[in-house]
Structure 1
Amino acid sequence: MSAAHWALFAGLLLITMVLLGTLLKRLPLSSAMIYLALGYGLGPGGIGVLAPDPFLLAGPLELVSETVVLISLFAVGLKLGIPLGDRRWILPGRLAVVSMSVTVALVTAVGIWGLGLSLGAAVLLGGILAPTDPVLASGVQSEAGRSPDFVGFSLAGEGALNDGSAFPFVLLGLGLLGSHDLGAGGWHWWAMDVLWATGGGLAIGALLGTLIGILVVYLRTRHQSAIGLNLFLCLGLIAISYGIAQICLASGFLAVFAAGLALQRVREHPMAGTLSLDRNRPPPPYTRDENRATHSHHASATMNLAVQGFNEQLEKLAELALVLTIGAMLPYVQWTLAIAWFVPLLFLLLRPLAIAVGMAGSIVSGYQQTMIAWFGIRGIGSVFYLMYALNHGVSGALAETLVNLTLATVAASILVHGISATPLMAWYGRHRRRLPGATGP
């Protein structure tokens, strides 16, 4: 297709999604399902104008998928208005650490005894498929606010945290295969890949998000400068958080998430003798006053709204591009019998078992636990880890097995979770007030 044809296709697709956006919210469909089908039609299984061969293009696909995950993690951080020290993070933390570790262990066992993989290959498969997705799960995650819904907040927090906490398991699998240095007795893996990567990533992101947010608000309110260019602020904070974390051998994913969370927590310090613009007014939204961006009562809220609005649109474009690519990659999958039993086993048994272990002892209703267990959506994060593995020494029959199982799992998740999200979340919305712990554990 020529550039003109691509422009026409992209324009028609974007306008169509605008026109159908409200309708899709009422139907058991998701935008990702549409992108997946279109991608398949554009790929080798259709007209063949896209050919994202995962075996030949692992490097570029790793970069693209990593960028999409970073954008989404920053968006999740901006939405969740609860500081990491709040007790409501206990359950998402347990899901992202305990449940994810149990998932890796269960997938490893299935990989060894069901798929005939070596220990390293099975651990690698578990690390690739264990994390839930912060991009494709936006329809079931929590909305912004300081009193989020319990189920939505747990899913959002889990998806944000386990993209970083899954990376050590991917590195462990690669190490057992001889493609990553684990250190004598695994000390390097424990000290650097697990402890420092997690703690350092969160600390670096939180510090940068706080400092940059305070600096921008100070300049706007005290000097009427650094106004506008919220696009640059959004992308710049993502890039600097990721870059510094990676240079320091910490988790860039967790750093970007923590930066978004910290930026959202920045608050104004109103100047003496000034009054809020909202006095004697009904509650917001009142966000378009010319001087709100520099007003000492409103600067941080205005900054956060602008950055969040831009990042959400950027996230949707990134989702479109990558899910189209995933659809175009599906013809490279060899649809074996193993896929037919492995994918249902992961969704219907392994994920619920891992959630039951991670949530053991928590005050959560059976309905809520079932919802959290079902919406363990796999997507962009798994694609990134797959491409990372292919780009770091995995090849041959193992590469084919990982591509087959990962892409099949992601495609199945997009379809089954996309179909079920609207009716299940509508049901939960009607009944959650009667469920114990609906607004907190």
Structure 2
Amino acid sequence: MDTYIVTLLIFGAVVLLTAWLPMALRKLPLSLPICCVAIGALLAWSPLTPLPALNPLENIEWAEHLTEFVLIVALMGAGLKIDRPLGLLRWAATWRLLGIAMPLSIAAISLLGWSVLGLGVAPALLLGAALAPTDPVLASDVQVGPPQTGEEDSIRFSLTSEAGLNDGMSFPFVMAAIAIASQQVGGGYSWVAHWFAFDVVWKLAAGLAMGWLVGRLLGYLTFRMPEAGRIARTGDGLAALGFTCIAYAATELISGYGFVAVFVAALTLRSAERRSEYHGELHDFGEQIERLLMMVLLVCFGSILAEGSIMSHIDWRIAAVAVLVLAVVRPVAAWVSLIGCQQPRAEKLIVSIFGIRGLGSIYYLAYASGRARFENVETVWATVFLIILLSVIMHGAAVTPVMRWIDRRRDIDPLKPTAASTPS
């Protein structure tokens, strides 16, 4: 059998499902990621599958760059669909989740890795840094709606803005884990000053500044320059992909955090002209690309799970840590961070529980594993993979009934198409 032809057949089916499944699953307690993982597992167990049984530990570069690309596309989309202007008070819940919940999560998960899994300082810190951020890709079902549709209640806004910023904010801790793992025996703490000055101060500042500059430039080219040359006049959402790559690459070239820059650039571009319908075109194209990439990667994720090389390392300790991270660490850390926020208790609870883990965690592991040698790294990978799988199942099954309950509280019919999604 021609492997190439079979691959084309499966890819075509995945593309078709990308368009059809979200509509078919609207009334069911299932999510698109659950279906993708199941499809990948079935393909791996099929004798006719063209999918190779790849272990990401043996293909670090591929794992890093594929997850990196889907993340930056998701971050641009998340920034473009936020209607709320940036502000200390308007984004109060976001700052709390970033400044309190994420450090608490990193500390708690690292402690579990050290005490329960028996990891050293570097791999335990890597585990905490990789799992602390919520995922902008798999969390799309609990995020705000397309631009100017009004689908931006406090729950969706908090989860969207948190997912947009915490990927970049956790990167300094990943870099700290790499620095610790790279130290020679007896190296002490000589790395701390360089880490703080470069990996914390410079890279975060460069990401924020470059994101703002690129966003301002793109905002001018899109909405402000003489009308004949405005990008918005094209009505072509393909420009969103160009915006994303420019913001990310320009920031990485000056050693900044590209994830931060992409999200900030999207927010800045959105603020250049909030009422333009072109934001909808950019968002819709970006969402289609994101959904397709997510499906492909999750099918591969399901295949890797079914192949068994990584999952064979799972024991009761890893299972216990996975349950604690999802059921205790994230909910408690987020709940503590939201104390004092003017939100109903039920909404705080939902924000705390829906700390979805996903492809971003795989990116951080691949990035770190390619730059330093970590002891017991297989244990770290197995823990992260199990947590992602449990998050996909648990959050995926709960997202539809919970979001429909939220919409009913706002007197919105979740099954009725919005103005932005209704064909003209």
**Equivalent residue letter for 1:261:** L
Partner of 1:307: 282
**How far apart are the structure 2 equivalents of 1:320 and 1:214?**
34
Q: Deviations over 1:273-294 (max 9, x none)?
A: xxxxxxxxxxxxxxxxxxxxxx
- CA drift of 1:17 comes to 4.4
Partner of 1:2: 3
- CA drift of 1:421 comes to 0.5
**How far apart are the structure 1 equivalents of 2:335 and 2:192?**
29
Q: Residues 106-121 of structure 1: matches in 2 within 5 Å?
A: 106-121=108-123
Match of 2:401 among 399, 407, 423: 423
Q: Residues 76-87 of structure 1: matches in 2 within 5 Å?
A: 76-85=78-87, 87=89
For the 8 Å contact 2:76–2:266, the answer to whether it is kept is yes
**How far apart are the structure 1 equivalents of 2:231 and 2:162?**
37
Q: Does 1:158 align with 2:133?
A: no
* Bigger CA radius of gyration: 1
Q: Deviations over 1:16-58 (max 9, x none)?
A: 4434432201101111111111112223687553222111101
**How far apart are the structure 2 equivalents of 1:229 and 1:430?**
34
**How far apart are the structure 2 equivalents of 1:393 and 1:57?**
15
Q: Does 1:172 align with 2:147?
A: no
Match of 1:208 among 210, 214, 218: 214
**How far apart are the structure 2 equivalents of 1:9 and 1:179?**
45
Partner of 1:266: 272
**How far apart are the structure 2 equivalents of 1:221 and 1:64?**
37
Q: Residues 248-263 of structure 1: matches in 2 within 5 Å?
A: 248-263=254-269
Gaps of 5+ in 2: 412-424
Q: Deviations over 1:40-94 (max 9, x none)?
A: 2223687553222111101111000000000000000000122333522221122
Partner of 1:355: 334
Match of 1:372 among 340, 351, 371: 351
**How far apart are the structure 1 equivalents of 2:188 and 2:164?**
25
Q: Deviations over 1:247-270 (max 9, x none)?
A: 2221100101111111112229xx
Q: Residues 31-430 of structure 1: matches in 2 within 5 Å?
A: 31-43=32-44, 49-50=50-51, 51-85=53-87, 87-145=89-147, 148-178=152-182, 184=190, 186-219=192-225, 221-223=227-229, 227-228=233-234, 230-267=236-273, 301-330=276-305, 331-332=308-309, 333-334=311-312, 335-394=314-373, 398-430=376-408
- CA drift of 1:231 comes to 4.8
Q: CA 1:221/1:39 → structure 2, altered by over 3 Å: closer, same or farther?
A: same
Q: Deviations over 1:349-383 (max 9, x none)?
A: 11122112321222222211110111000001101
**Equivalent residue letter for 2:9:** L
For the 8 Å contact 2:223–2:231, the answer to whether it is kept is no
Partner of 1:282: none
Q: CA RMSD in A?
A: 2.4
Gaps of 5+ in 1: 269-299, 434-441
**Equivalent residue letter for 2:97:** L
**How far apart are the structure 1 equivalents of 2:49 and 2:13?**
19
**How far apart are the structure 2 equivalents of 1:60 and 1:157?**
28
Count of residues in Structure 1 that have an aligned counterpart in Structure 2: 401
Using the aligned pairs only, state the percent identity: 32
Q: Deviations over 1:102-121 (max 9, x none)?
A: 00000111111111111222
**How far apart are the structure 2 equivalents of 1:368 and 1:240?**
36
Q: Deviations over 1:288-342 (max 9, x none)?
A: xxxxxxxxxxxx7143222112111111111111111211221222231123211
**Equivalent residue letter for 2:84:** I
**How far apart are the structure 2 equivalents of 1:232 and 1:430?**
35
- CA drift of 1:3 comes to 2.0
Partner of 1:13: 14
Q: CA 1:223/1:342 → structure 2, altered by over 3 Å: closer, same or farther?
A: closer
Q: CA 1:376/1:47 → structure 2, altered by over 3 Å: closer, same or farther?
A: farther
**Equivalent residue letter for 1:13:** V
Please say which of residues 188-197 and 215-224 is displaced more in the overlay. Answer: 215-224
SS across alignment from 2:328: helix
Q: CA 1:103/1:191 → structure 2, altered by over 3 Å: closer, same or farther?
A: same
**Equivalent residue letter for 2:171:** F
Q: CA 1:221/1:10 → structure 2, altered by over 3 Å: closer, same or farther?
A: same
- CA drift of 1:227 comes to 4.4
- CA drift of 1:10 comes to 2.0
Q: CA 1:377/1:46 → structure 2, altered by over 3 Å: closer, same or farther?
A: farther
**Equivalent residue letter for 1:165:** M
- CA drift of 1:129 comes to 0.7
For the 8 Å contact 2:3–2:50, the answer to whether it is kept is no
Partner of 2:417: none
**How far apart are the structure 1 equivalents of 2:373 and 2:25?**
39
For the 8 Å contact 2:147–2:283, the answer to whether it is kept is no
